[in-house]
Amino acid sequence: MNGERPPGPNLPEALTRLLRAPKSAIWPTPEDRNRLRLGPQKPREPSRAVLGVWLWAILYNLIGFAILATLWRTMH
């Protein structure tokens, strides 16, 4: 309480530093408008491998259900 300012950022910067968006922000900020964009410009489409896994899972479950239904029918 001797009239000196406490160490660290001053109050306005401490209140506004969280409002500045990081580089990984979804929305562009005024500082980002002139920044070079290096990554892909459009959303990525799922690869064919993901589609193959989904098809395999569906077929696996359908074949398993068919086997269980056949076993159930032969028991009754």
Residues 6+ apart with CB under 8 A from 25: 32
Quick one: pLDDT at residue 9?
Answer: 62
> One digit per residue, pLDDT tens: the chain, 76 residues?
566 666 666 666 666 665 655 556 666 666 666 777 676 676 667 788 889 999 999 999 999 999 999 999 999 8
Task: With 0.75 as the threshold, say if the pTM is over it.
Answer: no
13-46 CB burial, b ≥16 within 10 A, e <16: eeeeeeeeeeeeeeeeeeeeeeeeeeeeeeeeee
Quick one: pLDDT at residue 2?
Answer: 64
